[in-house]
Structure 1
Amino acid sequence: MSNAQLILLDKRNQPLKDYLVAVAASDGLTIKGVEVMASPAKGEKSLLNGGIIIPPLEQYDYNPKKLTEASLKQINVNDEIISIECFIDRCSNDEAVRKALSKSINKFSKQLLTIMQSFCDSEVIDLIKERRNDALFKLHNHAKDLKGKKIVCIDIEATNISTDPEADIIQLSACDQDGKELFNQLINPGYDIPENDKHNITTEMVQGQPLLAQAWDEIHDTLRDADIVLAYSTESDFMYLQKSAEKKMLRFELDYNTWLDAAEMSRDLIGAMRWHSEKMYWFFKTPKLTAAYEHILAKPFPGDAHDALADAVATMELLQAMLEKGKKSQVKQPKPKAKAETITNNPFAAAFANAKKA
């Protein structure tokens, strides 16, 4: 007979909010200070220790029992993820010890359940659910508003980020709502393309390709004549076009009000919640196109993630999948939040607050 048992070690010394940063939505987290220890007997040296992983809360419907079951299947031992049964097998070759450890799983699970419950009772859960509902409601409306509209999806590769005034466009690609290619044009910037991990385009690839001014009219007019221009991060793509037109003195008749950002929709629908420690507020992190595509469509990202045409086609497919989720949702229009009245005995503060309202 053995007195071996699984013991939950909880040596956290930080507020719960600090741990919620990485698990609030689409992430998971190995909690520092929280471990499972296989103890042979009271006062004896541990047989083996493993880290406890908090699975993605949203993925398991914020259900503490489901989260506990999932966590027991992914114990972190020296960066290797194993089940609690495999963990026990590694603890000892003694059958009696393994049997005793297995018997203690139920007690250990109940202790772990308490931790999972504390995460699910957090203030952020309602914030996440509210954001998801709002996202579905907006997608439901988009599905109706976009019906019959001519949608063009664009993607741009450039020599640097859009905020760099020296950045130049080196590929412009677009497709229609059926994913059919409208244009896929490499652009010669007129100089050697610097190495960049954001694209795979080399100087050799753009040799013999037109300058932006030579390809501009067809590209510009295709976007101008669309009812809706779709992009993954419209702000950067629009900025590339606007700054390029200014720099090269090209006509520019594009209206940002007709642009639709798939990145914003993805952020609201699946983005992980984060805590901004300096500004002290929660915010939602925008997922990369590849991550959003694979999460929402539940299949691998097609083609090269650094090719403008592949990204445009994937973005259009992502939009269609999100609109379908919106159409199928039963979410009703969110009720407007009542503005809390600020109570103060300071007449100057009250006057300032009223002025702001006005």
Structure 2
Amino acid sequence: MSLYERFEKAFMPNYGVPPVALARGEGSRVWDVDGKEYLDFIGGIATSSLGHAHPALVEAVSKQVATIAHTSNLFLHEPEVLLAEKLLGLLNAPARIFFANSGTEANEAAYKLALKYGRREGRSYFVATENGFHGRTIGALSLTGKPAIRDQFGPFPVDVRFVPYGDAGALKEAVTGDCIAVFLEPTQGEAGVVPPPEGYFEAAREICDSTGALLVADEIQSAIGRTGHWFAHQADGVIPDILTLAKGLGGGMPIGACIGFGDAGTLFDKGDHGSTFGGNPVSCAAALAVLGTLDLDHVKSVAARLRAGLEDLRHPLLKGVRGRGLWLATVLREPRSAEVQKAAADAGFLVNALQPDAVRLAPPLIVTADEVDAFLAAYPAILTEAAK
């Protein structure tokens, strides 16, 4: 029985059966169980910041797991304190941190933090965006503006009002003195790597300031160098009230963070929230290795090379490119992203059919210029094959 058949027999069907079974990785390359090599332009869904088997990550995780692998939240340990201090230094603003295990858990913490604020202030509803994605647990799903994954699990515990992403006028109309918080992605990830119009986040900050609503920035995908900045909101010159992180922070190890700025950082009282595995020593050691190794100048350089190469590419199927940093979508003229994903895998490249007309590119942040050039050289033939 093949590994694919064993997977299908053992697991719930919510993922289907993935088309490629990976066995190992090194740098920006991975190999499947049959020994075929691929250049990884998915990066574990914008998660494998340092690629695969990076020496800094291997050393940090190995050393920590051999020292102490778990403490629970009943005890503190130095890696979690060092990581919190490092993040606060990169944010350069007064804040407090809660560590979780994933993006949806980070957003659950943000949701509860905002709820506590809303009930204290007598506020009654949230605002989020159409096609926004914040996670699949019930609180995070409440804020997710994707009816196909949301509606079958309702009704939800709070009133959430959805507005078109990037429309500052609609946001201003929706946010009143009764609004608890506005949940926004600096760039919408699962919607197709859709950046907002210039000035949108500044407008959101002004709207929240004028009404007293909290501004929550979901940077699960966009933070930790992915856009060329440590945090995407820094490029807009905006400080949110609550920030959520995960994915690239751990470089492949599970970790999430909910960060409250100013007063939002002290809303929780003792016992209000918790996580047995949150702030796990091994995951914190991995995150410290990521933050200590990433080179943002390199990210900006290879990101500019990738984008320029894609923008120069002329192909009947390719409509354009959008996104920020090493987090891009190639936009197609026809809904053939699944065909592009398959053709790319056949050619030895892993990409992600994110939307029917959008293919996500999120390579490791250590991807080299030569690897970018190899992808750019191969992509026209991949598109041609997908268009057949």
**TM-score range, shorter-chain basis?**
under 0.3
Q: Which has the higher contact order (CA 8 A, sep 6+)?
A: 2
TM-score (ref. length: structure 2):
0.23
Which of the two has higher C-alpha Rg? 1
